[in-house]
Amino acid sequence: MRKRSKKRGSSSARATVKNPSPCGNESSENRKRRASKILTELRKSYSDADCALSRDNPFQLLIATILSAQSTDETVNKVTPVLFAKFPSAQALARAPRDEIERIIHATGFFRQKAKSIQGTALKIVEDFGGDVPQTLDELTTLPGVARKTANVVLGTAFGINEGVVVDTHIGRLAWRLGLTWNARDTKDAVKIERDLMEVIPRKEWTFIGHALIQHGRKICSARKPKCDGCSLVKHCPSAYTFDPA
């Protein structure tokens, strides 16, 4: 006899095991129409949606985004003012004492690797890009600690260049619940989630949709207890009211 999982009753477990959306039965045309309605509602609710990381220029956004891995925006925003006051440019950070960088960013976690990455990134920007943050995906992903997600954040937010859609935990969860991904294995399948979102969301909206979904995920559609009663997307969400109250 098969043993039942102890987590079977939890909404978080169900969300990563069984796709609650009708993706398999929904036509491409219907999905795009629904995505358009979702986008319209997000525009109404989060017209000023932006990256939560504090920054004054593309370099600061790049460094802050690297530091945000396995950390929170709130923690990073407490650390970066100190870091940038001391080392305001790529040139300054590249020649900074490593132990001092580690001390400043310690609260973000994995501080030794992050210090190595941000200093390596600063040095490469100085040596290979004349001190300016590069503006292409291929160039950005040559920098230490920079993968596609970080590059998308910088390109879209700092330069208004839509090369892809950022997929973090909030965006992955909401794309899954809203039925805007149909090829992903689960909410963490970032590559396929991004690909699906790029198919149903107009390119000019790729940066906005990421920022808006993150805000909606934090404010309304949380991982454990989504607030369906107060959700502006409920009419277009195949997962609405399917989660156990807790």
Q: State the pLDDT at residue 243.
A: 82
Q: How many other CB atoms sit within 10 Å of the CB of residue 10?
A: 14
Q: Give the mean pLDDT of 117-136.
A: 98
The CATH superfamily label for domain 58-159 reads: Hypothetical protein; domain 2 (1.10.340.30)
Taking only the tens place, the pLDDT of each residue in 201-239 is 999 999 999 999 999 999 999 999 999 999 999 999 999
Say if residues 84 and 101 touch (Cβ distance below 8 Å): no
Q: Which of 25-34, 84-93, 156-165 has the lowest mean pLDDT?
A: 25-34
Taking only the tens place, the pLDDT of each residue in 133-159 is 999 999 999 999 999 999 999 999 999
In the predicted model, is pLDDT for residue 20 greater than 80?
no
Q: Provide the sign of the torsion angle of the four alpha carbons 156, 162, 164, 167, taken in this order.
A: positive
Which residues 6+ apart lie within 8 Å of 150 measured at CB? Answer: 62, 65, 66, 140
What's this model's pTM, rounded to 2 decimal places?
0.87
Q: Provide the sign of the torsion angle of the four alpha carbons 115, 117, 123, 129, taken in this order.
A: negative
DSSP secondary structure string for all residues of 145-211: T--HHHHHHIIIIIH---S-----HHHHHHHHHTT--SS-SSTT-HHHHHHHHHHHS-GGGHHHHHH
Q: Which of 19-23, 26-30, 120-124, 169-173 has the lowest mean pLDDT?
A: 19-23
Say if residues 2 and 159 touch (Cβ distance below 8 Å): no
CA torsion, ordered 125, 73, 164, 169, to nearest 10 deg: 140
Q: State the pLDDT at residue 204.
A: 98
Distance separating alpha carbons of residues 61 and 55, to the nearest angstrom:
5
Distance separating alpha carbons of residues 26 and 31, to the nearest angstrom:
6
In the predicted model, is pLDDT for residue 9 greater than 70?
no
pLDDT above 70 as % of the chain:
89
**Residue from 224, 149, 243, 140 nearest 190 by CA:** 149
Q: Quickly state the pLDDT bin for 109 (edges 50, 70, 90).
A: very high
Q: How many other CB atoms sit within 10 Å of the CB of residue 191?
A: 11
In the predicted model, is pLDDT for residue 8 greater than 80?
no
DSSP 230: G
Fold held by 26-49+164-236? Endonuclease Iii, domain 2 (1.10.1670)
Active site residues: 149, 168
DSSP 3: P
CA angle 99, 105, 106 (to 5 degrees): 80
Taking only the tens place, the pLDDT of each residue in 37-81 is 999 999 999 999 999 999 999 999 999 999 999 999 999 999 999
Taking only the tens place, the pLDDT of each residue in 27-47 is 999 999 999 999 999 999 999
CA torsion, ordered 61, 63, 67, 73, to nearest 10 deg: -20
Which residues 6+ apart lie within 8 Å of 209 measured at CB? Answer: 39, 42, 165, 197, 201
In the predicted model, is pLDDT for residue 241 greater than 60?
yes
Q: State the pLDDT at residue 1.
A: 41
Average pLDDT, the chain: 91
Q: State the pLDDT at residue 24.
A: 59
Sequence ranges of the domains in the chain? 26-49+164-236, 58-159
Q: Quickly state the pLDDT bin for 25 (edges 50, 70, 90).
A: confident
Q: Give the mean pLDDT of 168-175.
A: 96
